[in-house]
């Protein structure tokens, strides 16, 4: 923005030395250019905010699926619910996947 205005000011000085009557027109064009730049900046800021807002909404949706109520699902849903639904196969699958010495959280897709 500043660079463009410096160049435009140089054009205004040059035009004034060529034809002093053009000075008023050149200054009004400078004001119009400044207004156009400001409008473009405002539109870019709005677009950037919308882009970030959409990303935050997607992140929030994903987070709410993985952390219902803001806590891990294991703290929210009981093992018994899944055991009654899938039977002993569910328990066998969990035992097969588990490694008590590995300090990581595992995601189990059912």
Count CB neighbours of 6 within 10 A: 9
Degrees, nearest 5: CA angle 66-69-74: 55
CA distances from 45 to 32, 36, 52 (A): 20, 14, 11
**Mind listing the pLDDT tens digit for each residue in 2-13?**
888 888 889 888
Binning pLDDT at 50, 70 and 90, where does residue 83 land? confident
85 vs 71, residue with greater confidence: 85
| Amino acid 76: pLDDT | 58
Q: What 8-state DSSP symbol labels residue 67?
A: S
| Alpha carbon 27 to chain centroid, angstroms | 39
**Mind listing the pLDDT tens digit for each residue in 23-71?**
888 889 889 989 999 999 999 999 998 889 888 899 988 888 877 777 7
Q: At how many degrees (to 10) do helices 23-66 and 2-18 cross? A: 170
| Amino acid 73: pLDDT | 62
């Amino acid at each position: 923005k500043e660079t463009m205005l410096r160049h435009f000011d140089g054009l205004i000085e040059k035009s004034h030395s060529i034809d002093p009557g053009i000075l008023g027109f050149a200054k009004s064009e400078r004001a119009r250019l400044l207004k156009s730049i400001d409008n473009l900046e405002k539109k870019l800021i709005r677009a950037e905010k919308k882009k970030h807002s959409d990303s935050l909404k997607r992140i929030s949706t994903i987070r709410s699926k993985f952390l219902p109520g803001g806590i891990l699902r294991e703290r929210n849903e009981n093992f018994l619910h899944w055991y009654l639904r899938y039977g002993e196969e569910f328990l066998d699958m969990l035992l097969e996947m588990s490694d008590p010495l590995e300090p990581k959280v595992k995601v189990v897709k059912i």
